[in-house]
Amino acid sequence: MSNPSDRARRLKFYFVQGLTLARVPLIFLFLGLSVFSGHPVPELWFAVAFGAMILSAITDLLDGYLARKFRVTSRLGSYADPMVDKVFYLTAFPTLVYLADRVGQHNHARALLVLAILFLLRDQWVSFLRSLGALHSVDAKANWSGKARTAISFPTICAIYYFLQAPTGWPWILPGPVVYGFEGLSVAINLISIGVYTARYWPVLKAELRPPEGDPADEG
């Protein structure tokens, strides 16, 4: 029979992994409600979609914290968490671009498109650097710029959605300059993160940019 402490540890492990993976159905729920709710969005649908997005942000904060607290950190979690984050960004940002264009904020939609591309390019660049780093046994853990980017991304996305879709008559109004400030901060932290990771992996890049040495056996 298994030890009760082992069973408790397994339950904690599966609970933490479940929190991580829960972001996927939550963000798809947000996507479905946002696209098919029409405009103006019914209050109930808005509340559910906004709640799904906030829950996604909460699970991102909790899964890592609980994994460390319960001592169930794992390689699966270290790979699943950034993968699920990418699913979140790949779903949320195009949806926000669509919503901004649907409500007539065409210039804002163009700005959000630039922000979405920057987010995705940053992710691909960092993944590329980490792949090169793995060839040289360079630690691939997230640094402060990656954590700061995650910390600002979720409130930014939530603020943009609220600004675009909050039903008329809701008591709390989010001013446009506040939303644009969040967006500008997101652009800045993404550019900073690109620079920080590039500097960190610069020795690896230099090593890989050297032309391969020819095989003496091939000469002559």
How far are the Cα atoms of 15, 92, 169 from residue 52, in angstroms, in the given order? 19, 12, 22
Q: How many domains does the chain have?
A: 1
Q: What is the mean pLDDT of the chain?
A: 87
Residue 217: inside a domain? no
pTM, to two decimals: 0.85
> What distance, in Å, lies between the first and last C-alpha atoms of the chain?
69
Residue 219: inside a domain? no
Torsion angles phi and psi, residue 171, rounded to 5: -65, -30
ω into residue 4 within 30 of 0, thus cis?
no
Grade residue 186 by pLDDT with cuts at 50, 70 and 90: very high
Residue 58: inside a domain? yes
**What percentage of residues in the chain have a pLDDT greater than 90?**
44
Residue 94: inside a domain? yes
Per-residue H/E/C for 76-95: HHHHHHHHHHHHHHHHHHHH
Q: Would you state the pLDDT for residue 176?
A: 92
138 contacts: CB under 8 Å, gap ≥ 6? 201, 204
CATH number at residue 121: 1.20.120
Q: Would you state the pLDDT for residue 112?
A: 96
> What range does the domain containing 53 cover?
4-207
Q: Would you state the pLDDT for residue 218?
A: 52
Decide if pLDDT at 165 tops 60: yes
Q: What would the pLDDT profile of 36-61 be if each residue is shown by its tens digit?
A: 888 888 999 999 999 999 998 888 88
Decide if pLDDT at 216 tops 70: no
Residue 89: inside a domain? yes
Decide if pLDDT at 27 tops 70: yes
DSSP state for residue 198 in the 8-state scheme: H
Residue 135: inside a domain? yes
